């Protein structure tokens, strides 16, 4: 970009910012629930200042140079923040595209010669298009990080180990039991066995939609790991359709204690520990 064009945009920086803010605030998709107008203006002002300062580069299509690092870092930070805040890709894209519109509108207003306007507009368009690609790539990485974190959090929530009685733990499993969840189940269960000194663990699979040979193998591994820790493991929630599937697949669960419900498994655990639960009648005095 020529020196005069850079000076022009530097001189018009304030007007560009105001036009850009006007475009953003007029957008029907503005997410005021996710970002305040004050924060939006702060982001916009920081980005436009850094961008105008870097438009002096002769090679406008190569954004790998160190002089572009500040702009890319600011855009990356904005993209990551918006990904975490819940903005959509389209909403994040409009943030950058509206800046491009403001820059082009400023050039159109200030440059009278049509040939010069065409050349400088093309340069600005290429810069902004490349910056848009960088923004989307960073946004996608941010969304992937959010999804992975949420997946881990959901896995932790969906595999809670409950101390239902002294010496008795229960772990209700909800959803599909795959290899990664089996690892979490075993780690949580074994850790709780160590911390509580429990001798019986109940795996309740009432919330597991289906049991195939792979799920059964995961359950067997969990039972084996529990036994190695010196605790007995009971599998409850064996519905009729699951029992039929297990038999049909030829899966051998004969060496594992299974019960139809969590209540019957708990009753069995009481019996093993020689505990007796009685119903009492409150006296009326």
Structure tokens at 217: 């193998």
Which bin fits 198, alpha (ψ -120 to 50), beta or left (φ > 0)?
A: beta
With a CB cutoff of 8 Å and minimum separation 6, the contacts of 270 are 165, 276, 277
Of 218, 226, 221, 174, the closest CA to residue 202 belongs to 226
Q: Which domain holds residue 142?
A: 3-155
d(CA 90, CA 147) in angstroms, rounded, equals: 18
The answer to whether residues 220 and 182 belong to one domain is yes
Of 202, 92, 173, the closest CA to residue 136 belongs to 92
Indicate the residue among 139, 155, 171 that finishes a domain: 155
Yes or no: say if 201 and 231 are a contact pair by the CB < 8 Å rule. yes
The answer to whether residues 131 and 210 belong to one domain is no
d(CA 278, CA 124) in angstroms, rounded, equals: 81
Dihedral angle, C-alpha 62, 53, 67, 72, nearest 10 °: -70
Residue 281 lies in a domain: no
**What's the confidence (pLDDT) of residue 4?**
57
Residue 182 lies in a domain: yes
Yes or no: say if 219 and 238 are a contact pair by the CB < 8 Å rule. no
Buried b / exposed e over 205-217, threshold 16 CB at 10 Å, is beebeebeeebbe
Burial of 114 (0-12, 13-18, 19+ CB in 10 A): exposed
The answer to whether residues 214 and 137 belong to one domain is no
**What's the confidence (pLDDT) of residue 201?**
94
Our count of domains for the chain comes to: 2
Q: Tell me, what CATH number does 228's domain have? A: 3.30.750.24
**What's the confidence (pLDDT) of residue 2?**
47
Indicate the residue among 97, 131, 155 that finishes a domain: 155
pLDDT (tens, 9 = 90+) of the chain, 285 residues, equals 444 567 788 888 899 999 989 888 888 778 888 888 888 899 899 998 888 877 765 555 567 767 788 888 888 888 888 888 888 888 888 888 899 999 999 988 888 888 888 888 888 888 888 888 888 888 888 888 888 887 776 666 666 888 989 999 999 888 777 777 778 888 888 999 999 999 999 999 888 887 788 888 888 888 899 999 999 999 999 888 888 888 888 887 788 899 989 999 999 999 999 888 777 776 665
**What's the confidence (pLDDT) of residue 234?**
93
Q: What are phi and psi of 257, to 5 degrees?
A: -75, 125
The answer to whether residues 139 and 177 belong to one domain is no
Alpha helical stretches, state H, 158-212: 179-196
d(CA 188, CA 169) in angstroms, rounded, equals: 11
Q: What are phi and psi of 198, to 5 degrees?
A: -70, 150
């Amino acid at each position: 970009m020529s020196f005069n064009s850079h000076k022009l945009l530097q001189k018009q920086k304030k007007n560009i910012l105001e036009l850009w803010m006007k475009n953003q605030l007029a957008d029907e998709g503005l997410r005021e629930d996710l970002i305040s107008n004050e924060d939006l203006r702060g982001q916009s002002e920081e980005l436009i200042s850094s961008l105008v300062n870097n438009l002096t580069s002769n090679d406008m299509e190569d954004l790998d140079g160190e002089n572009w690092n500040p702009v890319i870092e600011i855009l990356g930070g904005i993209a990551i923040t918006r990904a975490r805040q819940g903005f959509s890709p389209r909403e994040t894209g409009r943030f950058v595209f509206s800046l491009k519109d403001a820059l082009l509108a400023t050039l159109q207003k200030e440059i009278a010669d049509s040939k010069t306007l065409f050349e400088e507009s093309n340069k600005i368009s290429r810069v902004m298009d490349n910056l848009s690609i960088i923004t989307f790539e960073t946004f996608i990485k941010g969304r992937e990080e959010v999804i992975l974190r949420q997946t881990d959090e959901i896995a932790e929530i969906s595999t809670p180990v409950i101390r239902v009685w002294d010496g008795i733990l229960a772990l209700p499993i909800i959803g599909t039991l795959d290899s990664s969840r089996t690892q979490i189940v075993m780690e949580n269960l074994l850790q709780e066995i160590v911390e509580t000194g429990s001798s019986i663990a109940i795996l309740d699979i009432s919330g597991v939609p289906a049991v195939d040979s792979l799920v059964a193998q995961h359950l067997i591994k969990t039972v084996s790991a529990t036994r190695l820790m010196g605790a007995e493991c009971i599998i409850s929630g064996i519905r009729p359709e699951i029992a039929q599937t297990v038999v049909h697949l030829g899966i051998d669960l004969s060496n594992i204690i299974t019960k139809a419900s969590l209540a019957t498994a708990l009753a069995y655990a009481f019996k093993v520990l020689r505990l007796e639960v009685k119903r009492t009648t409150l006296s009326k005095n």
